[in-house]
Amino acid sequence: MRDCLVVGSGVAGLVAALELARNGCKVTLVEAKKHCGGRAYSFSDPRTGMEVDNGQHLIMGCYSVFLGFLKDIGADHKLRRVSPLRIPFRHASGQRAELKLRTGSGKSGVVRGILGFRALPLKDRFRALRVGAALQSLDERKLGALDGETAAHWLAGLGQSEEAIRNLWSVICLATLNTKPERASAKMLAVVLKEVFFGVRDASDLLLPEVSLTRLYVDDALRELSRRNGTIVTGNGVKRLVVNNGIVCGVVLKDGMLLEPSAVVLATPWKETGKLAGSLWPDETLSAVVSRLSPSPIYSLTFFIEKPITTEPMLGLLGTNIQWIFTRKIVRDLWMHTCVISAAVFEEGRPPQADVFKELEHLFPELEKFQPRGIRTLLERSATFEATPGLERIRPGPRTPARNLFLAGDWTDTGLPSTLEGAARSGYTAADMVTSYLEEVCDVEPGTATKFPRHRAEIP
């Protein structure tokens, strides 16, 4: 049987591993950490005694590939769908507003939604429609040109006031790109806005996990992989690749074990991929890409409380450091609130917990009456890469200079920001490439169990 090795058990690695197993490969999944799920996992928190995510994850209706993956592993029913899109907002001044696509997706729904968004003065709401018009007239050439521009510059050029950028576009930019508009690529924001607001029906729906992230997809994906005879190795990462004549002929794990797969998918984050495979590129292209990608942090504060301060599953906050508060009922009389700050760069490294609570108490005075049962703060320093201008030209595809080595991960050239959807798409693409490669080099019919490739090299 064809042996394939997938390195990294984030969404990209899990998707690639399962797809390869489905295609008839004998898959080994190797993960450096003790847990699987990469940047989207949950853990049992000793401080609160509860299961806590490493950060709230939001899924959109346009995540077709990630949602397809959840369906394949029987996990899609664990999401709560908000359709049509409706996001309530609360401003620090007490003002309330709602972004609501009244008639679902489609042009008229978007126009009515923007015009009804009272967080902006009426003239700014009309001006916001210019962005919609610009998006609809974007062709490939115009889109390509936007890659050199920041989102803030592009939006200002379309007549968006500072207030509109602060209370509408920045909110969307931070939530989808984890990058502030003054640093974000206009192209990347335009791609996201177009896909969400002018994409397929349901593209703008929100899907919120009703269980922790590990329960949402990691457990089911691993179960399915084991059912398909996959081997899962955790707590033992890849130390180095042995490459001979343009072929990866061995993979050495941290404990010294040598694996000899027919093909390898490296589904590791950009820095680790640079370390493991950077030297394969004769002109150091990959190392240059890796040095251009900078991490963008996400801060979350999760607490458990007997009476919720809001029952909205997702509430946007304006005029505050905290951008979102998510609410989920855990059991009867116990609710979990998660406050999120995207692109969370603070002078002190992270905002003091007390300051975050002060902001919350200002918005929800009733919080003082209910003592939260447990509080957990988390700062994911490399939550995503910063979606800055110019990146789209340099993000690498799945192919590498080694014929049987392929890349996957949210940072590869998925055309999307750092998201679950981008990671899932890259996982499928890499798995398809591995399958084609194996069919090309092996004496077999596609989709059948096989022997090793003809040109398998010797390990020096």
Contacting positions for ligand FAD (CB under 6 A): 7-13, 30-33, 38-40, 54-55, 57-58, 237-238, 267-269, 272, 298, 380, 383-384, 409-410, 418-421, 423
Min dist. Cβ of residue 56 to ligand FAD (A) = 6
- Closest to ligand FAD by CB, 54 or 105: 54
For residue 92, CA distances in Å to 73, 98, 160, 310, 369 come to 42, 15, 22, 15, 20
Distances (CA, A) of 312 to 83, 309, 324: 14, 9, 11
Judge whether 261 and 247 are in contact, CB under 8 Å: no
**Integer Cα distance of 235 and 409 in angstroms:** 20
List, as one string, the DSSP characters of 377-395: EEEEEEEEE---TTGGGT-
Nearest to 94 by CA among 314, 301, 319, 307: 319
CB of 382 to ligand FAD, least distance (A): 8
- Residue 269 or 372 having the CB closest to ligand FAD: 269
- How far, in Å, CA of 110 to CA of 194, rounded? 11
- Nearest distance in Å: CB 71, ligand FAD: 17
Residue 132 or 209 having the CB closest to ligand FAD:
209
Indicate the residue among 3 and 149 with the shorter CB distance to ligand FAD.
3
Tokens of 201: 């029906």
Nearer CB in complex with ligand FAD: 326/441: 326
Least distance in angstroms from the C-beta of 157 to ligand FAD: 28
**Least distance (Å) between residue 393 CB and ligand FAD:** 20
In the complex, the smallest distance separating the C-beta of residue 27 from ligand FAD, rounded to whole angstroms, is: 14
* Least gap, CB of 391 to ligand FAD (angstroms): 14
Residue position matching structure tokens 């989709």 = 447
Contact (Cβ atoms closer than 8 angstroms) between residue 401 and residue 280: yes
- Scanning 293-451, the segments in alpha helix (DSSP H) are 353-363, 420-441
In whole angstroms, the minimum distance from the beta carbon of 14 to ligand FAD comes to 7
- Complex with ligand FAD: residue 359 or 410, whichever CB lies closer: 410
Q: Are 391 and 185 in contact (CB under 8 A)?
A: yes
> How wide is the angle at C-alpha 162 spanned by C-alphas 157 and 165, nearest 5°?
75
Q: How far is the CB of 407 from ligand FAD (least distance, A)?
A: 10
- As measured in angstroms, the least distance from the Cβ of 236 to ligand FAD is 8
**Residue nearer to ligand FAD on the CB measure, 134 or 431:** 431
- Those residues whose C-beta lies under 8 Å from the C-beta of residue 421, and which sit 6 or more positions away, are 60, 62, 63, 64, 65, 66, 414
Greatest distance between any 2 Cα atoms in the chain: 71
Cα separation of 72 and 68, whole Å?
A: 6
What is the identity of the amino acid at 287? Answer: S
Put residue 159 in one of left, alpha, beta given phi > 0 → left and psi -120 to 50 → alpha: left
Nearer to ligand FAD, 7 or 134 (CB): 7
Q: Which residue's CB is nearer to ligand FAD, number 134 or number 264?
A: 264
Q: Which is nearer to ligand FAD, 33 or 403 (CB)?
A: 33
